[in-house]
Structure 1
């Protein structure tokens, strides 16, 4: 099993899967990992399921709302959460990314899907209760072929190059003041892990302000984009992914600490304050 930092670097969006079952060991390990998640890091109750669609018809696959965008999909990683709590989207994004990175470490392909899915169909398969919703899912499987995988890897490298510059995402002391790699010191690799995180439409809405020893994570929101998702904030989901990457990277780098809600909230300019990482 590879390390979290390796998984973060190797994770790519796979949209074409081989028409074959998952290795039994990999599937069992992934299902056991998912079963161990009942709450997010900020306390929101969650539940995740491994959905096996290998026996359904092509017509049934179309009902998932991903047919055409995703091909060869037999299996899905899906979850449910009750939206309403302040941290619900953060917890869901964090935990589904943990599962996706676990799948990456097992040599499996995944792809975040928040817009292109039929939530009614997934709701039936998850047997949603009360005010639960499914913010996002991911297909999981063996990438279609090595040649195709090579194309995907090349595309992923191009996508990494499309990431915003380090100093456009991470600030020194105040919003808008670029943080240099030198000033980031030992935390630079954890911030690079955030920079590598996937986000809806590659909008990269996270911003981080280094203030003394603390790192204030903020959201640069796109209100019009968020309104397209009526029941939840897709960009807070993205922030949950970023929080996951930062914490996993910091832990692996031997940089202990934890998330805090700082009161009074720090000055963040036009950015929306989310959480603060405070080194131990």
Structure 2
């Protein structure tokens, strides 16, 4: 993903927007977004952009509190991978890149797990037999935050984030990572802390060990309904990885993603590790 603005600045200004004005998204911006959607499609998922007028009182997916939206980004996944956490992580990484690019263009968005409760909208997406919509985001121009918007932000805990000491650790999960120990990665982790997540649960935990930052997902039950079985907490892990990756790259912190094969923990699911390549002294 190529940004023309600092990813850190984009992350800082991104907000979930649930109330939209009647101003339409310009064709030029739609063209940019369609190119981004095409570039970020994966082997098992793709994205679409549709114009659909959300009628008054019509619910949208799992979380229905959206008003005034008329353009939507659609995330589509192969049905066979609905319970595959690696696919969910990869999907979340890609979708967050889309969200941040829209933010850079001055457009509001809002992550919504689920699908349209409208046959007309679903016809526009033209799903294949082996595909299912797993994520939707309105895209457009947000209005002023009024009573409705304030209420939905409060219900979703959109303005709350867990403290640093509950998310980032050093050597073991009993020892919080200090900002000093994070060194050049402190700002990177600050931007991970700002990442959006379903119901703002922030399921990621990051453990610094020698030369790596190891990403773990807090084990949470998955929905029993197969139609909603897409693994949201692992989708959130992909969002966190995207923030880490974009900001590390912005700051010139070179490294690579890898998976260790000797990590097991009953409370967490290991997702992957960032191994840094910089000549940075690490005595911890």
TM-score with structure 1 setting the length: 0.85
Select 1:72's aligned residue among 68, 73, 79. Answer: 68
Let me know the Cα RMSD of the aligned residues: 2.8
- 1:223-271 per-position Cα deviation (integer Å, ceiling 9, x unaligned): 1x6446742211111111111111011100110112111122x354621
Contiguous gaps of at least 5 residues in structure 2:
278-284
1:10 aligns with 2:10: no
Contact 1:64 1:121 in 2 (8 A): no
CA distance 1:63–1:13, change in 2 (3 Å): closer
Partner of 1:114: 113
1:173 aligns with 2:154: no
CA distance 1:27–1:167, change in 2 (3 Å): same
Higher helix fraction: Structure 1 or Structure 2? 1
- 1:174-196 per-position Cα deviation (integer Å, ceiling 9, x unaligned): 12310011111100111111110
Select 1:201's aligned residue among 199, 202, 207. Answer: 199
- Report the alpha carbon displacement of residue 27 of structure 1 after superposing the two structures with TM: 1.9
Q: Report how many residues are paired.
A: 266
- Report the alpha carbon displacement of residue 36 of structure 1 after superposing the two structures with TM: 1.6
Contact 1:170 1:179 in 2 (8 A): yes
- 1:7-60 per-position Cα deviation (integer Å, ceiling 9, x unaligned): 111110001111121123222211221122232xxxx4321111111xx4727x
Contact 1:90 1:239 in 2 (8 A): yes
CA distance 1:122–1:66, change in 2 (3 Å): farther
- 1:94-144 per-position Cα deviation (integer Å, ceiling 9, x unaligned): 111100000000000000001575387664332222332222111000112
Select 1:58's aligned residue among 55, 70, 81. Answer: 55
Name the CA distance, whole Å, in 2 between partners of 1:119 and 1:218. Answer: 36
The within-5 A match list for 1:32-181 is: 32-39=35-42, 44-53=43-52, 56=53, 58=55, 62=58, 64-65=60-61, 69-82=65-78, 83-84=80-81, 85-115=84-114, 117-118=116-117, 123-145=122-144, 162-181=160-179
TM-score with structure 2 setting the length: 0.84
Select 1:30's aligned residue among 27, 33, 49. Answer: 33
Partner of 1:192: 190
Partner of 2:282: none
Contiguous gaps of at least 5 residues in structure 1:
none
Name the CA distance, whole Å, in 1 between partners of 2:110 and 2:90. Answer: 18
Name the CA distance, whole Å, in 2 between partners of 1:162 and 1:220. Answer: 18
Contact 1:52 1:74 in 2 (8 A): yes
Contact 2:89 2:238 in 1 (8 A): yes
- Comparing 225-234 with 81-90, greater Cα deviation is found at 225-234
- Report the alpha carbon displacement of residue 218 of structure 1 after superposing the two structures with TM: 0.3
